Structure formats: structure tokens, C-alpha cells
């Protein structure tokens, strides 16, 4: 089975993230770059599926040159090869443009199954799986907390507030995963050394037969017009317990719909 | 020649750091100390899956045959997270010793030794060793599946006596009695195993020193006195800076010792001893300063600082005293080697 896992490098959630004043795009130099956390689960699921059903895992990533570090990590975890789409022209691409570029890569590489995290921790649009499925004309099975494959049939548990729905489809398909699905492995010494020799194909927009004018910030349908820094955390409310502390705590929880 | 760690080595350190951070080693170490070693042994096994236990085992016996610098990276990270267990013994000294004894012939001269090496690499076996008088006690012999004792030129399977309590909770020290003779005329193998044990212990200490500095620095930023964080006072920050300098000066010696061991295990004594002296001094300084910076809270067993303070106390004097190692450096310099 030919599994493609989409991976994005994002600024570390734990560091101070900001946008660039010049064009309101993400300032990638301001924060440490790491692999999008949910993508680790996507990679793990891809590896588990190939361990069970055979085949290989290809990592596809779109991002600046620095993304090679995260691609290396994905290969150290056990993925077989990688495709890195890196082009200055892509800077500032929104979800629609990104999905168009990735769809081209996927058509070119061929796939039985595309797995991706249900969202990235920086943009958090969570729409890429749907856009890709539409562009590729294949079923989308999103927010999966479990994936089962039997021949060309695929079934997932779609995580919901009330439990899960079972969603079925046929391969080829696009699956987005949530963090409940598995526990990603850590790269082993062997994996890290083996990753050195694994092939990484680097592609430009032109290599994919896409007009550079059709991608990037200018070609994006969405635009960040304005943004503000997160306000500093407000001081908490101190409740003095005059015998009604329990009631006040309950009222607070009720106001936040916890009870 | 490159004197910095390769990208892959840094990635290995980072992967181990992530794995150990997620495993919450301080909690594991506390359970371990209370006699519940289930989580600790599970963690040991998953570290073996990451390759940690196979670094010093040759590829012939299902190991990784890694460079000593890789062993340094792993042991430093284990010390950084206060991982309990006979680390220098089981990950470095014993596999090095057995690998030399097993020889390079196929099949092995002693199939039993080859079997132990395979089990060590897989994380199925934890081993420990004593080499009186330099290493008078076998650490954690109670949980080791293989206990060895070495003499000037012989190696025996050993039976541990009752464990003596160590200053580090959960660590035990045993006087061992030699039983079945495993090898004789093995002075070179024993010496090499000792050097690797010293190297691993030094790395563990450097990692512990780094953790102590991290703790103290974090505390110095949070704790305020006279209206400012205590870290803004020179009396505190200069001490922390001195610790950082000591640790940073220890690391190159440690890596140099690893390179020397890879090039010529028999001629590495000076570099290995220099590394041990520098790393032990740095870790002890880190422990003293961290304790002082923390104030009274640092003395409590409940604060995780105690895990590293006692680790430094326990591992510091193991694998040869500072005086012994300094004498060895002096002898090497005076001898012109």
C-alpha cells in the first residue's frame, strides 16, 4: 500500500509566535521550528498501517528549506522517502493554494491513502483534508481516532462530542487523524542513522507544472487584514470563603458550562 | 576533522530528551526508590528500543556498535533526567567487557557470552559489575540479571551480598562474591570496560549537572526577594554563571575522551580521567549552587532537586575517586605519553 503522509513544520507552540509586520504572514524566524504535533500521529498511523498491510510511507511537506529538519525527523521515525516542495513563490499561500499544490504532488506521486493531522497548530484551519479530497476526487474520512483497512475498504472512527461515528469509504482516500488515534514513536538511534540514506526529492513550483503567479500571498483568496497580540492574561478572581465558597465555585463552573 | 557533534547525534539527544521528558522520570525514580520498579523497567525497555542499551554492543551480537560519543550523548541525557538504574555498568562497562571476551570469531568462543550481549542490546538483561578496589560495590545488583566481579586479570560470575543503602534513594550497593570463573588473562578487556564505565559515569554526571543548573536557573527567575527575582542579584547569577562555565568546560573533555577511546582504548587513560575529574567537579559545583539558590526548599525530599543532588553524591565517587583520576592524569603527563 502506498501511503502518503502530509507533514508541516510549524513554530513551536511553547514559544512566542508572531506575524511579520511587512505582509501579515507567519514569522518563522521568531520561534523554534518543530514538526506539527498532530502530524506525528499521522506518521505513526501510516507506519502502523504499512507494518500491518505492507507498502511504504512517503512524507510530503511544503515549506521553506528549514523544513528539511522536520522531514529528517519523519524519516527517522521510519518513513521510507520524502518529497519536499520548497519555493520562495509559495510564501504566504493560504489553505486553498496549499491544497492545490499538494494535490499536484499527490497526483504525481500516486497514492492509496493520504494521511494528515486534522489541523496544524499555527494556522488551525482544519480544512486541508476536505479540500484535498475534493480536488483529488476521493473520499474524505476526517477526525479519525481509529483506522481499519480491509482490502480496498476503509473504515474509521470519527471522533465526536458524544463518542464516535463510523465512517466507511473505499481507497484511495484522504484521512485526517486526531491525537487519540495512537502514541507516536520516538526516533531510535537506528532510525536516525538510516534516515541519512533515505531519498528526499525537492520540487519547485515549476517542477509541478504550476505557474508561480498562481501561488503565494498574492494568489491567495484569503488575506490577513489585521491582527493584534493576545492580551495579557487577566488576573484571576479571588474568592474569600465566607462559608459560601463551594456555592461560588459551583457558580463559576456553571458559568463556564462545566456543570 | 570536525569537532562538533553531527546533526544525527544532536537529533538522537533530542529524541531521548523528548522520550524521557514524556516519561516523567522524576516520578518513575520516586516509585523506583519506593521499591516499585515496574515503570522504571518498562522505561528501561523502551529506551532499549530506542537503541540506548545496544550502543556498546557490537553489531555482530545484534548491537549497534556505536561510537563512544553516542554513548556519551545517551548517558548524559539519562543523567539529565535522573534515570535510575546501573547505567554506567549495564550500558557501558559490561557490554564492553563481554564484547572483548566474546572475541571476533563466528561463532563466539563462548555462546553464553554472546547470548548475554544480545539480551543486553534488546534491554532484556540488566547487568552490573564490581572491580575492587576501584569499584568496590556492584550497583543495583538486586535487579541485575547478570552480576560480575573482576580481579586484576580475571572475570567471575558473582553472587551479591545484601544491598547496602546508597545516599541515592533506590540505588543499592552490594559486596559481591566471585563464583564461576568466566575468563582469565583478561586484564586488557577489564581495563577497557573500566574506561567505558568511567566515561559513561562522567557523562551521567554532566547531564545531572545540567539539570541542576536548569532547576536553579528556573527557580532564580521565579523566586522574588526584595521585590526582584533573586536571579537578578549578582551573588546569585555569578554563581550560576560559574556552574555553566564548569559544565561547558567539562563537555569538550568528555567528548575528547570518547574520541580517544574510539581511536585507542588502551591509550585513552589520561583523557578519560581528565573528563571524569572535570565532569565530577562541575556536577558537584552545580549541586552545591543549586542547593544554595533553592534555599530551604532544596533540602526537602519532596522537591525533585533531591533526585539530582543525591545522584551526583552517589555516582561522583563511583568509578574511581577524584584523587585517583588526578594521579592518573599526572602520571600520564609525567610519563610523557
Residues A15 and A32 sit within 8 Å (Cβ to Cβ): yes
- Burial class from Cβ neighbours inside 10 Å (0-12, 13-18, 19+) for residue A255 reads exposed
The pLDDT assigned to B281 comes to 98
- Distance in angstroms (rounded) separating the CA atoms of residues B312 and B272: 18
Residue B297 maps to a domain? yes
The pLDDT assigned to B336 comes to 63
- Chain A CB contacts of B19 under 8 Å are 186
Rounded to an integer, the average pLDDT of A164-179 is 95
- Distance in angstroms (rounded) separating the CA atoms of residues B205 and B193: 18
Digit-by-digit pLDDT tens for chain B (337 residues) are 567 899 999 999 999 999 999 999 999 999 999 989 999 999 999 999 999 999 999 999 999 999 999 999 999 999 999 999 999 999 999 999 999 998 877 666 678 999 999 999 999 999 999 999 999 999 999 989 999 999 999 999 999 998 898 999 989 999 999 999 999 999 999 999 999 999 999 999 999 999 999 999 999 999 999 999 999 999 999 999 999 999 999 999 999 999 999 998 878 999 999 999 999 999 999 999 999 999 988 889 899 999 999 999 999 999 999 999 999 999 999 986 5
Residues A181 and A147 sit within 8 Å (Cβ to Cβ): yes
Across the interface, whether the CB atoms of A190 and B11 are under 8 A apart is answered no
* HEC readout, chain A: CEEEEEECEEECCCCCCCECCCCCCECCCCCCEEECHHHHHHHHHHHHHHHHHCCEEEEEEECCHHHHHHHHHHHHHCCCEEEEECCHHHCCCCHHHHHHHHHHHHHHHCCCEEEEECCCCCCCCCCHHHHHHHHHCCCEEEEEEEEEEECCEEEEEEEECCEEEEEEEECCEEEEECHHHCCCCCCCHHHHHHHCCCCEEEECCHHHCCCHHHCCCCCCCCCCCCCCCCCCCCCCCCCCCCCCHHHHHHHHHHHCCCC
Residue B251 maps to a domain? yes
Residue B299 maps to a domain? yes
The pLDDT assigned to B2 comes to 66
- Chain B CB contacts of A186 under 8 Å are 15-16, 18-19, 50
Q: What distance in Å separates residue B8's CA from the closest CA in chain A?
A: 6
Residue B36 maps to a domain? no
Across the interface, whether the CB atoms of A196 and B8 are under 8 A apart is answered yes
Across the interface, whether the CB atoms of A192 and B12 are under 8 A apart is answered yes
Sheet bearing B154-160, strands edge to edge: B127-130, B146-150, B154-160, B176-184
CA-based nearest residue in chain A for residue B53: A189
Q: What distance in Å separates residue B73's CA from the closest CA in chain A?
A: 11
The pLDDT assigned to A32 comes to 85
Chosen from A192, A196, A197, A200 to mutate, greatest number of chain B CBs within 10 A = A192
- Distance in angstroms (rounded) separating the CA atoms of residues A47 and A185: 10
Candidate from B11, B66, B70 with C-beta closest to A76: B11
Candidate from A73, A187, A189 with C-beta closest to B64: A189
Rounded to an integer, the average pLDDT of A21-45 is 88
The pLDDT of residue A168 is above 80: yes
Indicate which CATH number applies to the domain containing B241.
Answer: 1.20.140.10
The pLDDT assigned to B106 comes to 67
Number of domains in chain B: 1
Across the interface, whether the CB atoms of A189 and B18 are under 8 A apart is answered no
- Distance in angstroms (rounded) separating the CA atoms of residues B49 and B70: 15
Across the interface, whether the CB atoms of A190 and B51 are under 8 A apart is answered yes
- Chain A CB contacts of B78 under 8 Å are none
Residue B293 maps to a domain? yes
Across the interface, whether the CB atoms of B64 and A192 are under 8 A apart is answered no
Set out the domains of chain A in order of their start, with CATH numbers: 2-214 (3.40.50.620)
Chosen from B5, B6, B7, B8 to mutate, greatest number of chain A CBs within 10 A = B8
C-alpha cell at position B69: 560519543
The pLDDT assigned to A237 comes to 80
The pLDDT assigned to B107 comes to 65
- Chain A CB contacts of B12 under 8 Å are 187, 189, 192
- Residues of A contacting chain B (CB within 8 angstroms): 72-73, 76, 186-190, 192-193, 195-196
Q: What distance in Å separates residue A66's CA from the closest CA in chain B?
A: 14
Residue B130 maps to a domain? no
- Residues of B contacting chain A (CB within 8 angstroms): 7-8, 11-12, 15-16, 18-19, 49-52, 54-55, 64, 66, 70
The pLDDT assigned to A122 comes to 84
Strands (E), chain B: 127-130, 138-139, 146-150, 154-160, 164-165, 172-174, 176-184, 224-225, 228-229
- Distance in angstroms (rounded) separating the CA atoms of residues A204 and A212: 9
The answer to whether the predicted template modeling score (pTM) of the entire model surpasses 0.90 is: no
Strand partners, B161: none
Chosen from B16, B51, B64, B66 to mutate, greatest number of chain A CBs within 10 A = B51
CA-based nearest residue in chain B for residue A68: B7
The pLDDT assigned to A30 comes to 76
Residue B132 maps to a domain? no
Give B264's contacts (C-beta < 8 A, 6+ positions apart). Answer: none
Residues B94 and B135 sit within 8 Å (Cβ to Cβ): no
The pLDDT assigned to B1 comes to 54
Q: What distance in Å separates residue A177's CA from the closest CA in chain B?
A: 21
Coil/strand/helix, residue B182: strand
Task: Give the residue from A40, A10, A44, A41 showing the smallest Cα distance to A27.
Answer: A10
Q: Buried b / exposed e across B291-306, counting CB within 10 Å, b at 16+?
A: bebbeeebeeeebbbb
Distance of CA A53 to the CA centre of its chain: 24
Which range marks the domain in which residue B304 is found?
A: 189-333
Candidate from A72, A73, A188 with C-beta closest to B50: A188
Chosen from A33, A47, A188 to mutate, greatest number of chain B CBs within 10 A = A188
The pLDDT assigned to B111 comes to 86
CA-based nearest residue in chain B for residue A191: B50
The dihedrals phi and psi of A10, each to the nearest 5 degrees, come to -130, 160
- Distance in angstroms (rounded) separating the CA atoms of residues A184 and A7: 14
Residues A184 and A77 sit within 8 Å (Cβ to Cβ): yes
Coil/strand/helix, residue B321: coil
Rounded to an integer, the average pLDDT of A184-204 is 95
The pLDDT assigned to A206 comes to 92
Given its phi and psi angles, is residue A153 left (phi above 0), alpha (psi -120 to 50 degrees) or beta? beta
Across the interface, whether the CB atoms of A189 and B51 are under 8 A apart is answered yes
Candidate from A73, A189, A196 with C-beta closest to B50: A189
Residue B79 maps to a domain? no
Amino acid at each position: 500500500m502506498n501511503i502518503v503522509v502530509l507533514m508541516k513544520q510549524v513554530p513551536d507552540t511553547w514559544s512566542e509566535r508572531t506575524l511579520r509586520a511587512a505582509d501579515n504572514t507567519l514569522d518563522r524566524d521568531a520561534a523554534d521550528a518543530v514538526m506539527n504535533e498532530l502530524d506525528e500521529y499521522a506518521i505513526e498511523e501510516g507506519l502502523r498501517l504499512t507494518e500491518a498491510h505492507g507498502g511504504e510511507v512517503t512524507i510530503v511537506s511544503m515549506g521553506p528549506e528549514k523544513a528539511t529538519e522536520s522531514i529528517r525527523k519523519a524519516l527517522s521515525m521510519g518513513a521510507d522517502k520524502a518529497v519536499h516542495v520548497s519555493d520562495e513563490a509559495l510564501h504566504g499561500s493560504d489553505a486553498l493554494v496549499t491544497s492545490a499544490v499538494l494535490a499536484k504532488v499527490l497526483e504525481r506521486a500516486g497514492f492509496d491513502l493520504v494521511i494528515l493531522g486534522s489541523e496544524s497548530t499555527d494556522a488551525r484551519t482544519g480544512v486541508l483534508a476536505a479540500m484535498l479530497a475534493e480536488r483529488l476526487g476521493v473520499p474524505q474520512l476526517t477526525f479519525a481516532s481509529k483506522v481499519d483497512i480491509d482490502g480496498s475498504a476503509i473504515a474509521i472512527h470519527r471522533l465526536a462530542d458524544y463518542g464516535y461515528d463510523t465512517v466507511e469509504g473505499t481507497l484511495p482516500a484522504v484521512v485526517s487523524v486526531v491525537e487519540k488515534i495512537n502514541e507516536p514513536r520516538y526516533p531510535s538511534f537506528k532510525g536516525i542513522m538510516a534516515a541519512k540514506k533515505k531519498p528526499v526529492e525537492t520540487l519547485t513550483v515549476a517542477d509541478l507544472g504550476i505557474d508561480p503567479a498562481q501561488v503565494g500571498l498574492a494568489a491567495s483568496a484569503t488575506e490577513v487584514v489585521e491582527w493584534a497580540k493576545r492580551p495579557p492574561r487577566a488576573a484571576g478572581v479571588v474568592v474569600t470563603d465566607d462559608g459560601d465558597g463551594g456555592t461560588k465555585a459551583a457558580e463559576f463552573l456553571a458559568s463556564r458550562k462545566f456543570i | 576533522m570536525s569537532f562538533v557533534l553531527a546533526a544525527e547525534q544532536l537529533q538522537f539527544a533530542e529524541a531521548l530528551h523528548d522520550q524521557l521528558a514524556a516519561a516523567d522520570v522524576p516520578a518513575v525514580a520516586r516509585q523506583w526508590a519506593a521499591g516499585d520498579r515496574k515503570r522504571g523497567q518498562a522505561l528501561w525497555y523502551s529506551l532499549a528500543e530506542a537503541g540506548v542499551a545496544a550502543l556498546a554492543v557490537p553489531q555482530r551480537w545484534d548491537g549497534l556498535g556505536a561510537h563512544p560519543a553516542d554513548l556519551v550523548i545517551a548517558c548524559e541525557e539519562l543523567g539529565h533526567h535522573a534515570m535510575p538504574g546501573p547505567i554506567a555498568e549495564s550500558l557501558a562497562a559490561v557490554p564492553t567487557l563481554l564484547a572483548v571476551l566474546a572475541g571476533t570469531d563466528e561463532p563466539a568462543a563462548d555462546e553464553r557470552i554472546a547470548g548475554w550481549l544480545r539480551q543486553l542490546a534488546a534491554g532484556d538483561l540488566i547487568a552490573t559489575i564490581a572491580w575492587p578496589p576501584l569499584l568496590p560495590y556492584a550497583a543495583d545488583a538486586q535487579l541485575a540479571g547478570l552480576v560480575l566481579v573482576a580481579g586484576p586479570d580475571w572475570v567471575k560470575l558473582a553472587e551479591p551480598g545484601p544491598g547496602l543503602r546508597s545516599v541515592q534513594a533506590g540505588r543499592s550497593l552490594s559486596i559481591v562474591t566471585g563464583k564461576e570463573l568466566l575468563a582469565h588473562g583478561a586484564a586488557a578487556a577489564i581495563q577497557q570496560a573500566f574506561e567505558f564505565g568511567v566515561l559513561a559515569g562522567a557523562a551521567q554526571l554532566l547531564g545531572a549537572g545540567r539539570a541542576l543548573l536548569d532547576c536553579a536557573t528556573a527557580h532564580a527567575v521565579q523566586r522574588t526577594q526584595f521585590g526582584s527575582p533573586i536571579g537578578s542579584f549578582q551573588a546569585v547569577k555569578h554563581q550560576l554563571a560559574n556552574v555553566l562555565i564548569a559544565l561547558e568546560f567539562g563537555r569538550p573533555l568528555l567528548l575528547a575522551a570518547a574520541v580517544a577511546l574510539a581511536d585507542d582504548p588502551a591509550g585513552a587513560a589520561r583523557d578519560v580521567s581528565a573528563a571524569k575529574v572535570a565532569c565530577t567537579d562541575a556536577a558537584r559545583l552545580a549541586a552545591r549552587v543549586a542547593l544554595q539558590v533553592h534555599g530551604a526548599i532544596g533540602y526537602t525530599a519532596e522537591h525533585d532537586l533531591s533526585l539530582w543532588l543525591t545522584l551526583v553524591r552517589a555516582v561522583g565517587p563511583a568509578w574511581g575517586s577524584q584523587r585517583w583520576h588526578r594521579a592518573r592524569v599526572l602520571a600520564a603527563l609525567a610519563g610523557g605519553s
